[in-house]
Copies of this chain bind each other. A is one copy, B any other.
Amino acid sequence: MSRSERLLDLIQCLRRHRRPVSGHVLADELGISIRTLYRDIATLQGQGAPIEGEAGLGYVLKPGFMLPPLMFSDEEIEAIVLGSRWVAKQPDRRLSAAAANALAKIAAVLPDDLRDDLDASTLLVGPPAEVMESIDLGLVRQAIRNERKLAFRYRDAGGAASRRVVWPFALGFFDKVRVVVAWCEARQDFRHFRTDRITDLKPIDTRYPRRRQTMLKEWRATLDRPRGS
């Protein structure tokens, strides 16, 4: 195996083990000596890979993801760039900024002619709507990831306010607003909640009793067939 291939393998290894791994283990998995591993790690760090080593612990790959060399056709690149531009115009600040950063990174490695072609493919959406998020989406993401309940006050389309305890499992886009998709304990059904109508968001420390993947699947199934059938 050539050295450059091995470097990618090393990243994949680090990603597999999420906990700190000792250099010795990594060297074993790659079939190289510990000395060479240290050199490889140094090389990767030199190329900007976010690898951290601490004495007595081992190595961890900091969050952040390296895409290995990927082949895309012109159209696939166009699709990716266009989609990222769309995300960049969405009101979710964090995602929008992330999309802008991603676009910058992609543009940096694109050949000029392709970049020109992409300029001819524009997005005609209006300026981003001034939707003020009243809540911290980070809390929602965390609750989803850890399968924890959420409590909040909600004001529905009619203006009626209510208190909810829900089991969130997805955070989606709907037109210009973001919605939390969840099982509502009060209604005993799937509901989605516009984030801009949520107030007093409080994470609850109890885990909800179902797997979020399962609920996602069930919820999708209810979407596929029209209401009432």
Contacts and interface: CB of A to CB of B under 8 A. Distances in A.
Contacts of A105: 70-72, 76
A18 B87 contact: no
Nearest to A63: B74
Interface residues of A, number: 75
B170 A111 contact: no
B76 A66 contact: no
Contacts of A111: 12, 15-16, 65
B170 A72 contact: no
A16 to B, nearest CB: 7
Contacts of A160: none
Contacts of A173: 82, 86, 122-125
B65 A71 contact: yes
Interface of A: 3-4, 8, 12, 15-16, 18, 47-50, 63-80, 82-88, 94-96, 98-99, 101-102, 105-106, 109-111, 113-114, 116-117, 119-125, 141, 144-145, 169-175, 179, 181, 192, 212-213, 216
16 contacts: A48-B71, A65-B73, A65-B114, A68-B109, A70-B106, A71-B105, A76-B102, A77-B102, A79-B87, A79-B95, A79-B98, A83-B84, A83-B85, A119-B170, A121-B171, A124-B172
